[in-house]
Copies of this chain bind each other. A is one copy, B any other.
Amino acid sequence: MQAFAIPDLPEIGPGDDLAAMVSERADLIDGDVVLVASTVVSKAEGRAAHLADYEPGSRAVEVADRLETATEESVDPRFVQAVLEEARALVMTEPFILAVTDGGHVGVNAGIDRSNTGGADLLLLPEDPHASADRIRETLDPDVAVIVTDTSGRPFRIGQRGVAIGWSGMPATRDWRGETDRDGRELEATVEAVVDELAATANLLTGEADGGTPVAVVRGFDGGSIDGSDTLFRDPETDFVRQALQGWSYAGH
């Protein structure tokens, strides 16, 4: 398996054809997985925004007040309004806002970026990352899979890692159910989140800083040929961590 970053991509702006820009810079082949950072998908889709665009409602003012008290740092209620507008549900609001996006991804501030925004105040996640992945994939000529990635923190472990927020041309997970181990026993670990593992691989190459390269290709992992499911995000009914956080209070810290 090989992984490489697409070189020499210019700064991306609204209306740019990402698929064409990738095709010009890489000889893709059937079975490649093309991983595109959500930042450049958002820029191409015109998802940059300015704080002045947002008028905070009473819920945003209330959350901003609580967050300011909890963190002892000033919080712009217009920013909270932007997060609320991007969120389908809130998991927690202090000491940071963790929100479920329309796409199902759970991210701090609903995945809104305040760095690498291309000069705007904010960069929102793509409106429908699956549709974004579909569009990029349809424009690429060989039979590839496309994954739109983000970086995200996680419980128990420090640091961010790449995750998938939209994908096309491959299942989200690889299913080992019914397979047996070397002793013939049925496997316990049965569902592997391959799109997230591919996003993590890409993040090793793409980097965060000003030298960052936002598109990577993984070759030799034929995502389209694996058996699996398209379900990556947990149902709230069975997501114990989400339930626990919703019943938890930061007060007292």
Contact = CB atoms under 8 A, between A and B. Distances in A.
A188 B198 CA distance: 23
Contacts of A187: 115-116, 208-209
A52 interface: no
B204 A159 contact: no
B245 A115 contact: no
Interface of A: 1-4, 11, 92, 95, 105-106, 113-119, 151, 154-163, 172-173, 176, 179-194, 196-198, 200-201, 203-205, 207-210, 212, 221, 231-234, 239-245, 247-248, 250
Contacts of A105: 156
Contact of A188 (B113, B176, B205): B113
Contact of A243 (B172, B207, B231, B248): B248
Contact of A161 (B4, B117, B192, B241): B192
A58 to B, nearest CB: 26
A210 B182 contact: yes
Contacts of A233: 156-158
Contacts of A11: 182
A193 B162 CA distance: 9
A106 B156 CA distance: 7
A18 B185 CA distance: 24
A113 B159 CA distance: 26
A208 B158 CA distance: 26
What are the 9 closest A-B residue pairs judged by CB atoms, nearest first?
A: A159-B193, A155-B241, A244-B248, A200-B200, A197-B200, A179-B209, A106-B156, A244-B244, A201-B201
A240 B192 CA distance: 26
B160 A192 contact: yes
Contact of A240 (B1, B92, B173, B182): B92
Nearest to A237: B253
A27 B49 CA distance: 51
Given A116-B181, A179-B208, A193 B160 contact: yes
Contacts of A200: 161, 196-197, 200-201
